């Protein structure tokens, strides 16, 4: 730290310096002018010392603040170079809508093919785990030449796993539980047919893969086993073994972490 410098200008010295020297006998004029210039330089030096002494605390404060700010930016740049930026913690939300085909297995009868739509929403909370909810509807007309239609409305939710995920391709495995309302036609023991509907517990599990066309758009293919329930010929209710295939467009809201 610089030591304080005390420079004073007394009234006597100030008057003596500003007074124009008198011309003495026998003293050349050039010598008098030289003495006057020396006095002016001495006064200027004392004035500069006094000015620096008055502003010294302010100068030292600015110098110290400058060093602190410089060290802060240096440390910030070193930290940014050592540690990568942290990705956001919010989930990636995706919505899908597409075509669905269901091969419905009615008890005591043959299978019936149905066409419909599948809508879903998925939130990826982790790189390998998400939560999925979906609603599917499929329908066919004139079941068994009865003049009646048959349909299935499913509403399911559950976890979805991603055992394989790359920048554009993702393998999906889902296990969903919910309910399903099934309507249709069932032959009875008397040889006639009866209609009705059953709304029971249902579950679904399957695999699929999704290909990302762009950061916000993709296409997905799914194959699933869907378990529902419906009437048998005796009038009781029995489980149905159904197969489902779907293809859908997927819209992403957010940004998946690059791999």
The residue among 28 and 187 whose pLDDT is bigger is 187
Residue 233's alpha-carbon distances to 68, 149, 183, 184, 196, in angstroms, are 87, 18, 14, 12, 12
Answer yes or no: pTM beyond 0.75.
no
Q: Provide the residue count of the chain.
A: 259
Sequence spans of domains, the chain? 11-82, 92-253
188-238 tens-digit pLDDT? 766 677 788 899 999 999 999 999 999 889 999 999 999 999 888 777 888
Q: How far is CA 210 from the centre of its chain?
A: 20
Per DSSP (E only), the strands in 125-236 are 129-140, 150-165, 169-187, 193-214, 217-231
Decide if 162 contacts 146 (C-beta within 8 A). no
pLDDT of residue 111: 84
CA distance 90 to 250: 19
Class of domain 92-253: mainly beta
Mean pLDDT value across residues 248-259: 74
pLDDT score of 117 more than 80: yes
């Amino acid at each position: 730290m610089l030591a304080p410098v005390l420079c004073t200008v007394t009234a006597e010295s100030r008057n003596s310096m500003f007074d124009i020297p008198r011309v003495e006998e026998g003293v050349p004029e050039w010598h008098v002018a030289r003495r006057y210039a020396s006095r002016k330089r001495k006064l200027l030096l004392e004035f500069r010392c006094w000015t620096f002494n008055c502003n010294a605390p302010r100068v030292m404060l600015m110098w110290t603040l400058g060093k602190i700010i410089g060290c802060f930016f240096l440390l910030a740049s070193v930290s940014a170079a050592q540690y990568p930026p942290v990705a956001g913690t919010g989930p990636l939300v995706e919505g899908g809508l597409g075509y669905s085909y269901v091969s419905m297995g009615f008890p005591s009868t043959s299978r019936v093919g149905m066409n419909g739509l599948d809508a879903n929403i998925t939130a990826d909370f982790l790189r390998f785990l998400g939560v999925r909810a979906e609603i599917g509807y499929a329908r066919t007309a004139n079941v068994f030449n009865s003049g009646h239609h048959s349909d299935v409305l499913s509403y399911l939710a559950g976890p979805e796993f991603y055992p394989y995920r790359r920048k554009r391709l993702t393998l999906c495995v889902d296990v969903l539980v919910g309910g399903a309302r099934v309507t249709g036609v069932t032959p009875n023991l008397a040889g006639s047919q009866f209609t009705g509907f059953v709304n029971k517990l249902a579950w679904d599990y399957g695999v699929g893969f999704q290909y990302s066309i762009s950061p916000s758009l993709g296409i997905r293919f799914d194959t699933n086993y869907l378990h529902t329930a419906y009437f048998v010929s005796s009038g009781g209710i029995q489980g149905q073994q159904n197969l489902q295939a779907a293809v859908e467009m997927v819209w992403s809201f957010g940004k998946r972490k690059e791999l």
